[in-house]
Structure 1
Amino acid sequence: MAGTFGILGTAYSGLAAARAALEVTGQNVSNANTVGYTRQRVDQAEVAVAPAASFRGDQVGQGVKVTGISRITDEMLNARVRTTAGTSSYWSTTASAVSSVEGSLNEPGTTGISSALSDFWADWQGMANDAGSTQTSAAQAAVLIGQGQLVANRISAGYTAATNAWSGSRTALSTTVATINAAAKQVATLNDQINRTQLSGAGANELIDQRDTALGTLATLAGATTRVNTDGTVDVSIGGNAIVSGVTARSLRVAGTNDLAAAGTDPVRLEWTDTGRTAAVDGGEVAARLSTLAGPAAGGSGGVYAEAAKVYNDLATSLASQVNALHQQGSTTSGATGLDFFRVGTTGPAALSLSVVPTDATGIAAADPAKGTADGSIADAISQLGSASGSPDAAWTSFVSKIGVQSQSATAQSSLADSASKAATTAQTSESGVDLDEETANLVTFQHAYQAAARVLTTVDSMLDTIINKMGIGA
């Protein structure tokens, strides 16, 4: 009888194990589309024969027990996903910044500075050709003055676009840092909850999934690296310095100028809130933003926005200097000499203060004073500046080419990094993601196991009914 009743316990253990497996399968199916969810599996182990009964040869075990519920995951794959996500975010942000500058150039095209300069030099040639005619000279002067102002306006608009893009990126950096701080705090909080939950003997799989999502955010935004501790908590580092240590989180803040013009002397940077020391960040979106926000540097190695702004300032200064140098040598129809064609302010960015001085033909010094007022040789000399060595056109063309190369390179790097990130994510999903076909097959398997265990129970119940009632045992 004891052996017969023991079968009930064995069958019930199988029933309970199959039910647990069905519940976990249902959890997997329910979260098939939940971002960050890692599929789970019931861990089972056979129940050994009790030592006191081991001398009996007819003992075959005491059923099955559920030893836990595991997350199907691979930490190597998880680390690869985080690393590639940080690299992809870095190049995506960099490519976006360079592409925005390239787009603002409007080159090649009729709305770009190259086209405006070309027409400007052509108008000077027209001024030289019409120098002897009062009527046509006045009309040509109006065209020339208008074109000169158009060039100045486009230089100013380009500089403004660069500063606006810089300011937008500066604001985005502050938002990103706030997200990093929130994610770090969340990881520390989850570390505490996971540790307490595991110490109590309960499962913490869902909490670990939430933590992995936060770790992914930190890796994407700041290139964070992770180390798993023996107590189930994780430590997180950014640029070699801990931002999360167990249940404690640190925070970052953005320091430095809010004005592109001062980026060279008061660079935008990250600091640790608790110490005020500069925080090194070597990956993710933040590293890319800090790179693009850098001030101008020797050799053109500064941030893309600052370098663009510098080129616009240099272009305004060079254009005014070269045109004025020749214009001052010429004379107007009234014989006036030493006049400037362009004016550049003494304070503030040159690109924003460039303007045309003459308002009509009387202010344009097109003639060589030694050749009479009908001469147009000075205007002709100015018209040749566009093709001369060291011309504003050459400097602008060089910058446009440089930005084009940078954009192409950054876009290619971004594409490669994105492919690597997607490949890592696909590998992780294959390991940890929910496959509905597989879960459906599991449902059938566990359903049959449940039914089989239940059949054992009903069979034993029928046997006991026969033994107790029909054979008169206990009567």
Structure 2
Amino acid sequence: MSSAFSGLNTMVRGLSAQQASLETVGHNIANANTAGYSRQNVNLVTTNPQTLYGGNGNFQLGTGVNIASVTRARDSFVDKQMWKESSTLGYGQTMQNSLTKVEGVFQEPSDTGVQTVLNQFWTSLQTLSTNASDNGTRTTVQQRGVELVNAIKHANQQLKDMITDINTSINLKVSSINQITSEIGGLNHQIVTVEAGGTDHANDLRDRRDLLVDQLSTMMNITVTEDKAGNYQIQSSGGTLVDASGSQKLDTVKSKDSYYGYSVENVVVAGSGQVINFSSGEMKGLIDSRDSSQGGVREYLDKLDKVSQFLLQDFNDVHKAGYGLNDTVGGTNFFGVDGTKYENWSPQDGEGGWVTELQVNSTILDPSTGLAKIAAKTLSTQGNASGDNAVKLGIRLKTDISSTLGNSSLDNYYSSLITGLGVQSQDAKRITENQTTLVAQITNWRESTAGVNMDEELTNMIKFQKGYNSAARVLTTMDEMLDKLINSTGTVGR
């Protein structure tokens, strides 16, 4: 026969289980809008039954309920998908932002873009060919040349400023990565400590750790595994960032671009100096947007450099072959430094390339004699009004094929530059939009498992409340029965 008081223990366990369930519902509701929070559940199991001996044999009498664990609702497979696709999204967004800024540098089509300035310079040469002796026309050619130089050099400087900004962003991202991996390493230790007994679950600590991994995955490609003790091991590009022993910091080291001479920030493992070769994420996007020959700032610096080389070599060759007013001797550079033979010249490594040499020849800009040295005619014996060399200058600028520009005319070369930039920008936008849609879908999958549904929680609240009230009613009834037994037994006949 069971103890008269065993039912009290059963109900006390029931009250405790329903109370814990209600408190967990409250915890879920309180954190419904907390970033990274996973819905928690109280897992209830029946207690070991009591064996009773009856006239017909033994039988099992239930003794109530126990709380087996409090666990979070989480799908690790969906998490791994999220971390992979978030990294790709981070790369696409970074490249899209960078290419949008490059488009802003060239401002095409617009009234102030390089293409417009090129066209205006060509138009001034056309006018010169028909009115070569007019100083006003020559002044226009002179100033249009200055505009062209300024437009190219300004675009070049803006691109270099972008590289400086990218280097700054890389440094900031490395600091963020180190902060995140350090915190994950600390959370590893806390989680292992809490879960050391094998029964407890560090739900809120795990949520915080997974939220940090979410943030880390947007910045870089990562692989996440969990060991038997509960530690996260995070690797990227062959290097270990976090494991059971702690976290590994990253660092940046400066180098100098061998051609242009600007500073470059490279990401390495702190201490060892091993270079990290990112394969996706914002870090990969930043490095590619700076260095890549397909969509990076470096690509467009190279193309402006080729345009500058064309003006200093190909355009100057035609100008030097002509003559100015009053039989001014030929051989004068229109662009660059007077007397420099650019056909035999090449930039010094690390000095900035051809664009640093680009300027309108100071001889051409001389206020007293400069206009006369603009070579509009091909022969010194021709009249001052002859503009046949100006025609050749216009043809060289607009339609002549140049090996410097990859067997393309300057007009086609620059048009291809702008078209290619637009295609690259559209491609980055497409990748970003596709990844945004995919990440949103994965987020919905995750929320369907881990998210807090207020209707569901309120339903559970009512269920556990009724369970608690019912257990309390049974406990009250048992208390009344025991009171009768204890206080009324033996009073019959008194």
Q: Place the TM-score, normalised by the shorter chain, in its bin.
A: over 0.9
| Residues 366 and 375, structure 1, Cα contact 8 Å, conserved in 2 | yes
User: For the aligned residues, what is the CA RMSD?
Assistant: 2.3
Q: Structure 2: how far apart are the matches of 1:56 and 1:101?
A: 88
Alpha-carbon offset, residue 425 of structure 1: 1.1
| Partner SS state of residue 224, structure 2 | strand
| Superposed counterparts of 1:35-434, under 5 Å | 35-50=35-50, 57=58, 59-132=60-133, 137-199=134-196, 202-257=200-255, 261-262=259-260, 268-294=265-291, 301=293, 304-336=296-328, 337-343=330-336, 348-357=352-361, 358-359=364-365, 360-369=370-379, 370-385=381-396, 386-389=398-401, 390-434=408-452
- Counterpart of 1:388 in structure 2: which amino acid? D
Q: Structure 1: how far apart are the matches of 2:47 and 2:57?
A: 16
- Counterpart of 2:167 in structure 1: which amino acid? R
Q: Structure 1: how far apart are the matches of 2:481 and 2:217?
A: 62
Q: Structure 2: how far apart are the matches of 1:262 and 1:57?
A: 92
> Quick one: percent identity of the two aligned structures?
27
Q: Structure 1: how far apart are the matches of 2:305 and 2:473?
A: 87
| Residues 101 and 305, structure 1, Cα contact 8 Å, conserved in 2 | yes
What is aligned with 1:452? Answer: 470
What is aligned with 1:16? Answer: 16
Would the alpha carbon gap of residues 214 and 399 (structure 1) be closer, same or farther in structure 2, given more than 3 Å must change? same
Would the alpha carbon gap of residues 36 and 263 (structure 1) be closer, same or farther in structure 2, given more than 3 Å must change? farther
- Count residues with an aligned counterpart: 465
- Counterpart of 1:368 in structure 2: which amino acid? T
Q: Structure 2: how far apart are the matches of 1:382 and 1:320?
A: 13
CA deviations 1:256-280 (Å, max 9, x no partner) are 426695579x965321113222223
Higher mean alpha-carbon deviation, 271-280 vs 397-406, is at 271-280
Gaps of 5+ in 1: 296-300
Q: Structure 2: how far apart are the matches of 1:305 and 1:113?
A: 17
Q: Structure 1: how far apart are the matches of 2:258 and 2:69?
A: 57
Q: Structure 2: how far apart are the matches of 1:473 and 1:62?
A: 32
Would the alpha carbon gap of residues 46 and 56 (structure 1) be closer, same or farther in structure 2, given more than 3 Å must change? farther
Gaps of 5+ in 2: 341-346, 402-407
| Partner SS state of residue 334, structure 1 | helix
| Residues 52 and 60, structure 2, Cα contact 8 Å, conserved in 1 | no
| Superposed counterparts of 1:431-446, under 5 Å | 431-446=449-464
| Residues 271 and 277, structure 1, Cα contact 8 Å, conserved in 2 | yes
| Partner SS state of residue 450, structure 1 | helix
| Residues 263 and 294, structure 1, Cα contact 8 Å, conserved in 2 | no
- Counterpart of 1:468 in structure 2: which amino acid? I
| Partner SS state of residue 68, structure 2 | strand
Q: Structure 1: how far apart are the matches of 2:61 and 2:322?
A: 114
Alpha-carbon offset, residue 449 of structure 1: 0.5
CA deviations 1:313-360 (Å, max 9, x no partner) are 111120232221111111111212211111169653332442212124
Would the alpha carbon gap of residues 254 and 366 (structure 1) be closer, same or farther in structure 2, given more than 3 Å must change? same
| Residues 163 and 297, structure 2, Cα contact 8 Å, conserved in 1 | yes
| Partner SS state of residue 325, structure 2 | coil
CA deviations 1:62-91 (Å, max 9, x no partner) are 000001100111100111111111111011
| Partner SS state of residue 323, structure 2 | coil
Alpha-carbon offset, residue 411 of structure 1: 1.0
Would the alpha carbon gap of residues 222 and 302 (structure 1) be closer, same or farther in structure 2, given more than 3 Å must change? same
| Partner SS state of residue 321, structure 2 | coil
Would the alpha carbon gap of residues 462 and 258 (structure 1) be closer, same or farther in structure 2, given more than 3 Å must change? farther
- Counterpart of 1:185 in structure 2: which amino acid? S
What is aligned with 2:405? Answer: none
Alpha-carbon offset, residue 466 of structure 1: 2.3
CA deviations 1:198-219 (Å, max 9, x no partner) are 1156441111111111211221
Q: Structure 2: how far apart are the matches of 1:73 and 1:341?
A: 70
What is aligned with 1:298? Answer: none
